[in-house]
Structure 1
Amino acid sequence: MSSSPLLIRGGTVVNADRAFRADVLCQGGQIVAVGESLEAPMGATVVDAGGQYVMPGGIDPHTHMQLPFMGTVTRDDFFSGTAAALAGGTTSIIDFVIPDPQQPLMDAYQTWRGWAEKSCADYGFHVAITWWGDSVHADMGTLVREEGINSFKHFMAYKNAIMCDDETLVNSFRRALELGAMPTVHAENGELVFLLQQEIKKQGITGPEGHPLSRPPAVEAEAAQRAIAIADVLKVPIYVVHVSCAEAAEAIARARAQGQRVYGEVLAGHLVVDDSVYRDPRYDFAAAHVMSPPFREKRHQRALWQGLQAGHLHTTATDHCTFCAEQKAVGRGDFSKIPNGAGGVEERLAVIWDEGVNTGRLTPSEFVAITSANAAKLFNLYPRKGCVTVGADADLVVWDPSATKTLSVSTQHSLGDFNVFEGRTVTGVPSHTLSQGRLVYAQGDLRVERGSGRYLKRPAFGPTFDALGRQAALAQPQAVPR
């Protein structure tokens, strides 16, 4: 994607460490100057950012585009999903390669790379470890050394499908440590979930209200604690995805207080939507909210915000995974068959700004940290991504803090037929989004180009040390707050 010069004039640049008045000049896909009263080169496009913020584009480290799951495939593919992301100010995603059990990792990786070629925003991948064997051990090395993968996902849920047992966790965590990669975990005790699903259905509860009952906070907390303990013994950093409850957040905080490198991710939906949605009498409405972990009681929202404010939780994501009403209807009469997933890649920044910055919970710089900079640091994309500085990619969002928008399925760019933020009016939305220095969204006009997104190779991490001070491997995220 080639781009002519573009000057963003008169805005306030917001990075994770500070905010300051400056113009930003982009050329050749990169930021080439940041300063006051910059001259616009001949032929340059000029964006007036007076009264607005200029921030690094959002990085969503947890999406599922074109995901085959629970017998169907998500509505958003890599083109429609990344187009929606750009409309909301998110300029990079990290999606997931999820091999079937016994499928070679490299085969699955090549399949997902092919699907992602239509992306219109930059993208990377975590690769899930769904089984263990010699070929998995070998493929992990190839993925790290040749393909720029530095994180591996482990599902502790979904029994009889993609769930990891403890043996697989231990083997994979050790291999990640050797390679300088970071394990990530979906923390839910799959054995308990399976048992509770059967018991709840025997009680005659078969609708969507059974979903949260089968996945209580203790199920998430146990798995988080177990994964953290395994990581502690092996001395490998760990990243816990979609932390949804106070108990899991507290487990992370305790480990961090002991000096362990544990990082936590929160979904925008878990910050603002509560479990009352599952008790709605409309099946389609309740089923649309079925995702795992489920939405929780309001007290958990407070705990998640406090974790972000205190620095125990580090990133925000969406787990964007869209299924339509027809797909969700497969679980009518058996909640355990409802495809798990909801959208949000377009709404994340606006929801978090409105509920975080506008309420005083977050400063604008803290907002940048949890929506962009921390993810870039944790997954070794910084400072190419996650900051407004000379030499960084010109992936930027011009943010109008006074503009309002009512979020709705009728105006979203995602192909999903439901919006979990439906009817929520937010103050603070993107006026312009830049990807590789090109305007891809301007005042409501989406100008995306199919296939213009680039694959992001992410190098392995720097050295860490074991309990005796010996160099153990290359596995420590750089420049991330401890």
Structure 2
Amino acid sequence: MLDLAIRGGTIITAADRYTAEIGVLEGRIISIAADVGKARTEIDATGLWIMPGGVDGHVHFAQPTSDGSVMADDFASGTRAAAAGGTTTVLPFAQQIKGRSLRSCVEDYRAKAIGQCYVDIALHLIVTDPTPTVLGQELPALVADGYTSFKVFMTYDDLMLDDGQMLAVFETAQREGALVMVHAEGHDAIRHMTRKLESAGRTEPYWHAEAHHRIAEREATHRAIAHAELIDVPIVIVHVSGPEPLEQIKWARARGRTVYAETCPQYIQLTADDLKGFNMDFEGAKYVCSPPPRDAASQEAIWQGLADGSFDIFSSDHAPFRMNGLQNTGKDTPRARTSFKWVPNGLPGVETRLQILFSEGVSKGRISAERFVALTSTNPAKLYGLYPRKGSITIGGDADLVLWDPAARTTIRQANLHHGADYTPYEGMEVIGVPLHTLLRGQMIASNGQVTGRLGAGEIMSREPSGLK
């Protein structure tokens, strides 16, 4: 007898939609048929869409910072929010601290996650100090252990690599069959613009968007692509904010290069004007992230890319800070009020990612439901070596499912969210489409806006190399 049968729903995958029942045994899907037979537990999904659980390929939980700020989410609160939003797998980052062994940083970060997750996780790496030992010993061993992707930064004093270091990391990735994610913003351009704005007395949060200029993002994207072409390694340009970097990605693809593109909710829903707050006041700090949101024309370019396949994945880049953290650990600190450059960068979004894209995309006819599944689940699972166990509704795959009401309406409110931040940048946004039930390996972990799963039920997974072709 089955453990679970889901009956009456419409199954939506990245390629198809059809009506069938789903049978689950020991956490895996073992049958998809008109009648899967008897089960100990049954769910009536009549009128609902059944989709693969969301796979968020880019989140930040409990990550160290260099300025005294503290991220608002640890693994428990971050994965709780993911479950409530219909996401069953997240990929946070084990960040190397400069001067320390990468392996030791990974082990310390992994230890924080053990027994603390409501959904499954897999770890990316962040390489900040590519010493010969890291490149020659630690990275190859970590890739062999299933950490098959790592991120590099082209800005931030405590994270960035210079061009020579990037090329060395790219060579290691090429040799080991790993995938490199790139935060592409030109550090020197940002530093120059910051000095110029501060000298003119333009220090409010709004000016962050001017300092992190779209030209700095375009230039860095082109430079990252050039380095990848020289080494012949695939890369992912993360959190693309507008047409300028996207044009560089399309240019590279036309030349036969393997360059993947990611974008995020802030680039379809927010603009730089949000950083003005109420009247160029500090409320704008709520929207400070990098790259920053741009303008309405950039939003349209992002939508076009989501529809036409230019973007491969849609992630949250969840990087939460409280506005009012204890002992000046949040966004609102005395130093942050002196200049935008001291405001911690990042927005909460892991819980609202699916609803925003569904409401603005599927419900408004900008993208199909199948494309929604591809962007938010199937493609990230393939790109980061988790498919078909994740991101699919297929025999043998994990029964990670979200039962979605495509017609339900709700309003995003901080009071109803489960993350650790004390605000949402999407407060008051009305959305169409609601994740009614979230299942992890056949077990209900969230239902009707409440998390019902067990802390510690989430597993830490190793991964295969990228499978998105």
Partner in structure 2 of residue 10 of structure 1: 8
Residues 153-302 of structure 1 mapped to structure 2, 5 A cutoff: 153-158=151-156, 160-280=157-277, 281=279, 283-302=281-300
3-state SS of the aligned residue for 2:51?
Answer: strand
Residues 78-477 of structure 1 mapped to structure 2, 5 A cutoff: 78-117=75-114, 118-137=116-135, 138-146=137-145, 148-158=146-156, 160-280=157-277, 281=279, 283-326=281-324, 327-330=330-333, 331-460=336-465, 477=466
Are the aligned partners of 2:275 and 2:286 in contact in 1 as well (CA < 8 Å)? Answer: no
Q: Deviations over 1:271-330 (max 9, x none)?
A: 111111111227442101111111111111111111111111110111111111121112
Partner in structure 2 of residue 26 of structure 1: 24
**What is the distance in 1 between the residues matched to 2:393 and 2:447?**
19
Q: Deviations over 1:232-261 (max 9, x none)?
A: 111111101100121001111111122211
**What is the distance in 1 between the residues matched to 2:25 and 2:448?**
21
Identity percentage over the alignment?
A: 37
Are the aligned partners of 1:31 and 1:389 in contact in 2 as well (CA < 8 Å)? Answer: yes
Q: Deviations over 1:369-396 (max 9, x none)?
A: 0000000111111111111011001111
Unaligned runs of 5+ in 1: 461-476
Are the aligned partners of 1:15 and 1:388 in contact in 2 as well (CA < 8 Å)? Answer: yes
3-state SS of the aligned residue for 1:381?
Answer: coil
* TM-score, scaled relative to structure 2: 0.96
Q: Deviations over 1:99-148 (max 9, x none)?
A: 111211001101110111111111111111112211211110110112x1
- Name the aligned partner's letter for residue 61 of structure 1: G
Q: Deviations over 1:393-428 (max 9, x none)?
A: 111100100111100111111121111111011110
**What is the distance in 2 between the residues matched to 1:238 and 1:127?**
14
Deviation at 1:38, TM superposition (A): 2.1
Partner in structure 1 of residue 47 of structure 2: 51
**What is the distance in 2 between the residues matched to 1:111 and 1:354?**
38
Are the aligned partners of 2:407 and 2:433 in contact in 1 as well (CA < 8 Å)? Answer: yes
3-state SS of the aligned residue for 1:194?
Answer: helix
Deviation at 1:20, TM superposition (A): 0.7
- Name the aligned partner's letter for residue 162 of structure 1: L
- Name the aligned partner's letter for residue 443 of structure 2: R
3-state SS of the aligned residue for 2:332?
Answer: helix
Aligned length: 458
Deviation at 1:204, TM superposition (A): 0.2
| 2:72 maps to 1:75 | yes
3-state SS of the aligned residue for 1:410?
Answer: helix
Q: Which moved more, 1:239-248 or 1:127-136?
A: 127-136
Q: Deviations over 1:190-248 (max 9, x none)?
A: 11111211111111011101100101110001111100111111111110110012100
**What is the distance in 2 between the residues matched to 1:50 and 1:140?**
48
Q: Deviations over 1:335-372 (max 9, x none)?
A: 10001111010011010001111111111111000000
Are the aligned partners of 1:284 and 1:328 in contact in 2 as well (CA < 8 Å)? Answer: no
Deviation at 1:13, TM superposition (A): 0.8
3-state SS of the aligned residue for 1:72?
Answer: coil
3-state SS of the aligned residue for 1:5?
Answer: strand
**What is the distance in 1 between the residues matched to 2:451 and 2:298?**
36
Partner in structure 1 of residue 33 of structure 2: 35
- Name the aligned partner's letter for residue 5 of structure 1: D
Partner in structure 1 of residue 327 of structure 2: none
**What is the distance in 1 between the residues matched to 2:122 and 2:46?**
33
Aligned CA-pair RMSD = 1.3
Partner in structure 2 of residue 468 of structure 1: none
- Name the aligned partner's letter for residue 262 of structure 1: V
- Name the aligned partner's letter for residue 141 of structure 2: T
Deviation at 1:166, TM superposition (A): 0.4
3-state SS of the aligned residue for 1:74?
Answer: coil
Are the aligned partners of 1:323 and 1:416 in contact in 2 as well (CA < 8 Å)? Answer: yes
- Name the aligned partner's letter for residue 451 of structure 2: L
3-state SS of the aligned residue for 2:257?
Answer: coil
Are the aligned partners of 1:354 and 1:428 in contact in 2 as well (CA < 8 Å)? Answer: yes
Deviation at 1:479, TM superposition (A): 4.3
3-state SS of the aligned residue for 1:325?
Answer: coil
Are the aligned partners of 2:262 and 2:311 in contact in 1 as well (CA < 8 Å)? Answer: yes
Partner in structure 2 of residue 472 of structure 1: none
**What is the distance in 1 between the residues matched to 2:382 and 2:133?**
30
3-state SS of the aligned residue for 2:461?
Answer: coil
Are the aligned partners of 2:205 and 2:282 in contact in 1 as well (CA < 8 Å)? Answer: no
- Name the aligned partner's letter for residue 305 of structure 1: W
Are the aligned partners of 1:62 and 1:95 in contact in 2 as well (CA < 8 Å)? Answer: yes
3-state SS of the aligned residue for 1:59?
Answer: strand
- Name the aligned partner's letter for residue 256 of structure 1: R
Partner in structure 1 of residue 467 of structure 2: 478
Deviation at 1:445, TM superposition (A): 2.8
- Name the aligned partner's letter for residue 352 of structure 1: L
Are the aligned partners of 2:8 and 2:19 in contact in 1 as well (CA < 8 Å)? Answer: yes
- Name the aligned partner's letter for residue 142 of structure 2: L
**What is the distance in 1 between the residues matched to 2:448 and 2:97?**
42
